Amino acid sequence: MDLIDEPEAAGNTPEFTVSELSGAVKRAIEGEFGHVRVKAEVGRVVRARSGHLYFDLKDDRNVLACTTWKGQVSDLSVIPEEGMEVVVHGRMTTFGSQSKYQLNATEVAVAGVGALMAMLDKRKKALEAEGLFAAERKQGLPFLPEVIGVVTSPTGAVIRDILHRLRDRFPRKVMVWPVAVQGKDCAPQVARAIDGFNAMTPGGALPRPDLIIVARGGGSIEDLWGFNEEIVARATAASSIQLISAVGHETDTTLIDFVSDQRAPTPSAAAEMAVPVRLELMAAVDQMGARASRAVSDGVARRKQRIADLARVLPKPEQLTEDAKQRYDYWSEKLDAALQVRVGVGRLKLGEVAGHLRPSMLNNRITQGRERLDSRTARLTSAAVTQTQRQRSRLDALDRMRETLGYRETLKRGYAVVRGDGAVVTTAKAAKAATSLEVEFADGKMKPAGKVAKTKSKTPPADQGSLF
């Protein structure tokens, strides 16, 4: 049904449902604006929980709502940011639930070098404020890495320059992680390569690199833009492996240069930073070995001469032992006589001590010990008797208190206990319900028949009557 026919008389005007009208508008807009390019400034940007991206394009008078679905976000070469001037590719569509039209953005590009530089400056300040450029977090490069990981294009001249330079200086094992070095796939692939090298297990099937080189040849700011993306800068900052950035020529600067541990002006210079010159090292080792040999030879010669000089002034060995030999002979001759004297003195002392050892002395010691034992036993017995009496008196007092606080003392003051069927009765209702009653007084118990069960006295008091 055509909505743009000539108007008919009011009575013949067709009627549409809201959905029919909304669908017709949708077909008209999508048919007329199947693909458009819009240059504008980015306004509000919202990333929904579902992953969809919503943002506004605006000029000085109007605002155009834009939508990029979750599956399309990863294909964007530039994620829009508020205030950025961009050129957006997409198709116009409608959202009937809210009676609004919108642009489904499938590609976003920065409009001009000036806008790129403004966005780069903004991103650089944000990362610098987080401390990603701080000098104290940068690591020193290893002196001679065993394995070098290179993140670059496998088909360009960069990898050939790096391999050639390493071969000339000091051949090392090189692992190449192929990535796109420009375009929308550049940033995510470079970030994954850095994370992938760091995720390798030391000593695993694939050797983990000791150093990473991220390299690319020169180009325009648009060509190098992938190395200005935040995902690359954060992956570089999180790398536990030392990293050299060699992106572009010496005059080119990207964000990865500020975050990396070392910046090289060219890929070849990165290879020179990675390893020393093998021939120079060998020459230095040979030179130091020769110096060490000369130092050892000179030291040995000086010590030999010193020993020879000292040997001339030292006495002969026979002269050093003459006094010791003479002292040995002197004391050897006196040893036998000294032993005999010592034995005689010991015997004399033994006789003196043995003279004081008599049976009567031992008997006296035993008698004295027994008397002390009897005295201590008597004291302990007396103390035990006293303690027993004290505890018995305390027990009697507690028993009297028990009797005083017991219910029988209460009965002596004129009270009685009524039991029905063996249980204490406290209400008239319970007494009527009982089949037999028993009343206990201070001097005995009384049953309903008038018989009194005696507990302490056989004769009830004269004034004690029957309750029944």
Counting residues of the chain whose pLDDT is more than 90, the rounded percentage is: 37
pLDDT in tens, 402-433: 877 777 778 888 888 888 888 888 888 888 88
- 420-455 in b/e form (b: 16+ CB < 10 A) is beeeebeeeeeeeebeebbbbbbbbbbeeeeebeee
pLDDT in tens, 24-65: 888 888 888 888 999 888 889 999 999 999 999 998 889 999
Average pLDDT, the chain: 85
What's residue 259's pLDDT? Answer: 93
Please state, in angstroms and rounded to a whole number, the distance separating the CA atoms of residues 33 and 62: 18
Q: How far apart are the first and last CA of the chain?
A: 113
User: For the whole model, what pTM was predicted?
Assistant: 0.48
pLDDT in tens, 337-356: 888 888 888 888 887 777 76
Find the helix or strand (DSSP H, E) in which 134 lies: none
DSSP-derived 3-state class of residue 152: strand
Confidence of residue 455 (pLDDT cuts 50, 70, 90): very low
Least confident range from 45-54, 62-71, 436-445: namely 436-445
Please state, in angstroms and rounded to a whole number, the distance separating the CA atoms of residues 443 and 412: 8
What's residue 10's pLDDT? Answer: 54
Q: Reply yes or no on whether the pLDDT at 464 is more than 60.
A: no
- 254-270 in b/e form (b: 16+ CB < 10 A) is bbbbbbbbbbbebbbbb
Q: Reply yes or no on whether the pLDDT at 446 is more than 90.
A: no
